[in-house]
Amino acid sequence: MNSLRTQIAARVHARTPLPRTPRAVRVLTYHGLVETKLDPRLERNFHTFDQFRSHLRILRRHRVVSVDELEAGEVPSGPWHPGRSTVVITFDDGYSNNLEAASMLEAAGLPWAVFVSTGAIGTGVPIWTNTLAMLLLHGRPRSGTVDLAGKCWPLASREDRLACFNSVRGGFKTLARATRLAAMDDLAGQFDDGEVERLVVDIPSMSMLSWEDLDEMSRSGVTVGSHGVHHELHNPAQPDDVLRDELKGSRDDIVRRLQVRCTTLAYPNGDYTSRSIELADEIGYRTAFTTEDGLATPDRRMLALPRISAPGTESGFIRALLAGTAAR
């Protein structure tokens, strides 16, 4: 009897799913760190130093692995334990304030990866998504208004600016590179020359790393991955040659400038198509990260791995680590 009961119990136990996929990894997405946010809309993806310090305190209790270890499958194979998750830390875009992140992560002894848009490195000009946001949220158009998307937008008040930015932003993200460049040129032409450079001085969190910074970070063990050359989004309108240039050009820039291999990438804005995956594979990438929320399972879909956008608050961060999702 006892033996039968034990057998049944063992069977039931065997059929009970583990609380989480054992080899699932929590890949965290960050962008930049600031003391305080000057503009919550523009810096919506940023964390404060205090928030990041508290994240690092929590992460000490978990197992943080590098992208190399993830690519090599060197992640724990045992059952998931709520108090000890496997985590990968990533930063997107390549902001100069990532240098502070580098110091903090080095002091904590934690590996991490930075995904950079190589065309913006060392140029003093932000990636185009931020240029658009800065011009519309803070720029001073010569006439006081901007003609954009077939409409004349006043930029007098903060409400005006947010209305304009929120209305046109999504449309820009659907454009192919050539159309997007023409639209950005048209917009920039409505401001004084040097407006973007002036705005970066006022809002220094938008400034980008230099190649010297990246070289130093790379030498200290930080993984430098691709985030495209010009942060072009992999939307359905994007021609094949643009996708290829973005994926290959950025990889070649990193290899040439830093003398390291580059086998990992984060799709700009997290957008990707089936063609992105084919090209990334063909060019030699081994891992690619999206911004789809959820757990990354390192034995499948290595070229479309989900990530968790790190919540700012300590309680949100703990909850996201536990649940494997930033969704509440």
Where on the chain is the footprint of Zn ion (CB under 5 A)? 92-93, 268
Give the nearest distance from C-beta 82 to Zn ion in angstroms: 31
Closest to Zn ion by CB, 106 vs 245, is 245
CA 114 – CA 304 distance, rounded (Å): 17
The secondary structure element, H or E, covering residue 27 is: strand 26-30
Closest to Zn ion by CB, 85 vs 232, is 232
Give the nearest distance from C-beta 228 to Zn ion in angstroms: 8
Strand partners, 266: 289
Give the nearest distance from C-beta 317 to Zn ion in angstroms: 21
CB 160 within 8 A of CB 152: no
For the packed helices 158-172 and 128-138, what is the interaxial angle rounded to 10 degrees?
Answer: 160
Instruction: Decide: residue 268, CB within 10 A, 0-12 exposed, 13-18 middle, 19+ buried.
Output: buried
Closest to Zn ion by CB, 75 vs 213, is 213
CA 78 – CA 85 distance, rounded (Å): 11
Closest to Zn ion by CB, 24 vs 262, is 262
Q: Specify the residue for token string 């911004």.
A: 291
CB 71 within 8 A of CB 204: no
Give the nearest distance from C-beta 28 to Zn ion in angstroms: 15
Give the nearest distance from C-beta 99 to Zn ion in angstroms: 18
Give the nearest distance from C-beta 289 to Zn ion in angstroms: 11
CB 268 within 8 A of CB 231: yes
DSSP letter assigned to residue 223: E
